[in-house]
Copies of this chain bind each other. A is one copy, B any other.
Amino acid sequence: MAGELKLEIAISVDGYVAGPNQSEKEPLGEGGEQLHEWALKLHTWRERHGREGGEVNPSGELMEEALRGTGATIMGRKMFGGGPGPWGADPWTGWWGDDPPFHHPVFVLTNHERAPLELADTTFHFVSDGIESALAQAREAAGPKDIKLAGGANACQQYLAAGLVDEIQLNVAPVLLGGGERLFDNVGSDLKLEQTLVVHTPEVTHLRYRAGAGT
């Protein structure tokens, strides 16, 4: 049985997945780092990023479960970074250094062709022929495991609007950003949701939904 496409993303109470005025200095926009504070404290996250210590709690258990079940990741060009336009002669290699924390194939949606980039045991594939092609390639790479749709807003909106997402997990951080990129812009109301899991710590609430084409 093929894996599912699972959107998992940190979001503010007012619905933003990045704050206003994104820049190279503040890639998540003003205030956007607050969306991820809960994650950076987790033992699971820290271990994955080569650091010690950290909290063990229900958020960490969800993260462990997702890491075990994920065989490929899809992300938008903006999340991969390096600015818009052609890649150039000495192209950007991502935010994550020489040993990215994915440890599985990552498919980057882009309008500009580029050869695969291999960094330790993570290979970035650049897909310029559309979201369905990226999903098919990711599904092939993931085998029986799931595919994580990691962001940013635009990539998520395209997959949601096309009805290709099987599960949505919102990690709701207790913060208002007041502007920036909304997850659910341009998605419409056709998707039918079924609430399947709610897990919370004092710092975040995880809301999980099955997404379907409806009746």
Contacts and interface: CB of A to CB of B under 8 A. Distances in A.
Contacts of A182: 15
B195 A202 contact: yes
Interface stretch (A43-51, A127-135, A136-144, A170-178): A170-178
Secondary structure at chain A's binding surface: helix, strand, loop or mixed?
A: loop
Contact of A195 (B178, B179, B195, B203): B203
* Identical chains bound together, number: 2
A164 interface: no
Interface in A177-206: 177-179, 182-184, 187-191, 193-195, 198, 200, 202-205
Given A14-B183, A14-B187, 20 more contacts: A13-B168, A13-B170, A13-B193, A13-B207, A13-B209, A14-B15, A15-B15, A15-B182, A19-B189, A172-B207, A175-B189, A175-B193, A176-B189, A176-B193, A177-B189, A178-B187, A178-B189, A195-B203, A198-B200, A205-B207
